[in-house]
Structure 1
Amino acid sequence: MNILIVDDEALARSRLRTLLADCRDALPAHQQRTTVAEASNTAEALALLGPTGGKGFDLVLLDIHMPGQDGLALAHAMQALPQPPAIVFVTAHADHAVSAFELDAVDYLTKPVRRERLLQAIAKVQRTTRPPAPTAASAALPEGETLLIQDRGRTERLPVAEVLYFKAEQKYVTVRTATRSYIVDGALSDLEARFAPRFLRIHRNALVARRAVRALEKHYDAEEGEGWAVRLQGSTELLAVSRRQVAAVREELAR
């Protein structure tokens, strides 16, 4: 991975270099080949990137508040490159997160940056730049679909490919991945319209990832009595299936 650090403070650039060296040592051997360059302002960064992507950087670790053009302006300029690098903002200010993600930032880190948090950001970049080979069910789907999550003062871009299900809970929607749950505002019907090719309606309150459907089972629910439930890969939870959707789930399993 070729990485460009853009920060007007030399101490901050040095700190990131040290953290990147620590991160590299924590990666598998085949992922440890990393080169790092530095720029102290937007003009220097653009000179390194060049009109055609320059040295072919994979990732830019970008500060926001800098003399002259700020990091948001540089991120906007990078969008015009034929192959723009991934952007991870690294800043002392948390109030630009929404603007950053509108510019397709992969992640947003606040200073002082912890090694574990930087490793998470690098892993996200690797997932973005090296996506898994598409399956037959997903080959025709648009790449890079994401969901913007606001969680405890932190804004995160969640790849929709990681979502196992959406479930309506009163005024909110629970978003479940294999590792954790998130809460988002909005209506389940809006998510269904937006991500219809990827998700199947199994109940008035639930959408499940088609790729994750593994089994349809008889199930007894205290409220609805005997019925059906779906089991998903990556989760031990059973999700109720309404009677009208049983045929659709069976059809999905038969594909």
Structure 2
Amino acid sequence: MPTPTPLKILLVDDEPLARERLRTLLGDIAMQLPTEIVGEAGNGRQALDLLQGAVADVVLADIRMPGMDGIELASHLGLLEKAPAVIFTTAYDNYAVQAFDLNAVDYLLKPVRTQRLLAALQKVQAQQRPDPALLAGLGQQLRGAGRTHLSCHERGRLLLVPVGEVLYFKADLKYVTARTAEREYLLDEALTHLETEFADRFLRLHRSVLVAKSALAGFEKAAGDDAEAYGWALLRGVPEKLPVSRRQWAPAKALVKNS
């Protein structure tokens, strides 16, 4: 009888003792379900970095972690060409657990139990996978805020763009460009969704432009024959000017005046 191929597992938890417990439990169930740990990470950002050079069948991820939590990690993983299954580990047994009971993903309540871990991994063997759209929406519920990072596919790699570093978003056809002080990133995002998710951080200047409120430095009126904009926004740190529509001219100027 052939030996089953081990499930490749990535452990993601900011608590070393929690990762150690998972390693022990995986060893305990090795006869029933062989596994191979391909790496460990202390938060979602580290996990995504590890997955640039490693392949995992399943990610065991804590929910509450600094830097990037497990829910946001799962939403980024869902964009990978070969997305691993995600099993959450959590110390919280309230609304989050109820959401996971929809069977979109599985969860393990800490302290993790051996048979519960085995049952969750057997679901992975049955090819059950999380719904990335559900994970993204659930992430906003749990955090009460938007994502901390955006995903950008570039030359076969998944790059993460910190939202706090984005100066503006500019729409062009079906893509959106995110501009930081260093460079531009091409995102597969809708400007309207970004506006809703990050309303506290970004301001609509034009039908095709959102600007970080903190990046606004000033304004200048457009020439009378300029059909592209009513005026132009000046930014801190980059030479570009952004178009401002007639409707957004007064609100944008008021924001800078009051900041």
TM-score (norm 1): 0.50
Of 147-156 and 160-169, more deviation after overlay is shown by 147-156
CA shift in 2, pair 1:252/1:53, >3 Å: farther
1:89 to 46, 50, 55: 50
- Once the two structures are TM-superposed, the CA of residue 102 in structure 1 deviates from its matched residue by 2.6
In the other structure, the counterpart of 2:232 is 229
> For each residue in 1:12-49, what CA deviation from the matched residue of structure 2 results, as whole angstroms up to 9, or x when unmatched?
xxxxxxxxxxxxxxxxxxxxxxxxxxxxx98xx99x92
Paired position in structure 2 for 1:158 = 161
RMSD: 4.3
**Counterpart amino acid of residue 50 in structure 1:** L
Residue 247 of structure 1 corresponds to: 250
Partner of 2:150: 147
Q: Alpha carbons of 1:221 and 1:238: their partners in 2 closer, same or farther (altered >3 Å)?
A: farther
- Residue 132 of structure 1 is matched in structure 2 by none
Pick one of 63, 74, 79 that aligns with 1:102: 74
What's the offset of the Cα at 1:99? Answer: 11
Q: For 1:183, what is the secondary structure of its paired residue? A: strand
Give the counterpart of 2:183 among 173, 180, 188. 180
Q: Which residue of 1 aligns with 2:17?
A: 50
Q: Which runs of 5+ in 2 are unaligned?
A: 1-7, 22-33, 62-72, 78-143
- Cα deviation for residue 91 of structure 1 reads 6.0
Deviation, 1:252, is: 1.0
- Structure 1 portions without partners, runs of 5+: 1-40, 55-66, 106-140
Letter in 2 for 1:246: W
1:65-76 matches, within 5 Å, as 68-71=35-38, 74=40
Give the Cα–Cα distance (whole angstroms) in 2 for the partners of residues 85 and 203 of structure 1. 32
The answer as to whether partners of 2:229 and 2:246 remain within 8 angstroms in 1 is no
Q: Which amino acid in the other structure matches residue 49 of structure 1?
A: P
Calculate percent identity across the aligned residue pairs.
35
CA distance in 1, matches of 2:19, 2:37: 21
Is the alpha carbon distance of 1:92 and 1:161 closer, same or farther for their aligned partners in structure 2, counting shifts above 3 Å?
closer
1:69/1:235 CA distance change after superposition, 3 Å: same
Q: Aligned AA for 1:154?
A: R
Quote the Cα distance in structure 2 between the aligned partners of 1:170 and 1:199. Answer: 20
More deviation, 213-222/226-235: 213-222
Distance 1:143 1:193, change over 3 A: closer
TM-score by length of 2: 0.50
Cα offset, 1:143, TM superposition: 8.6
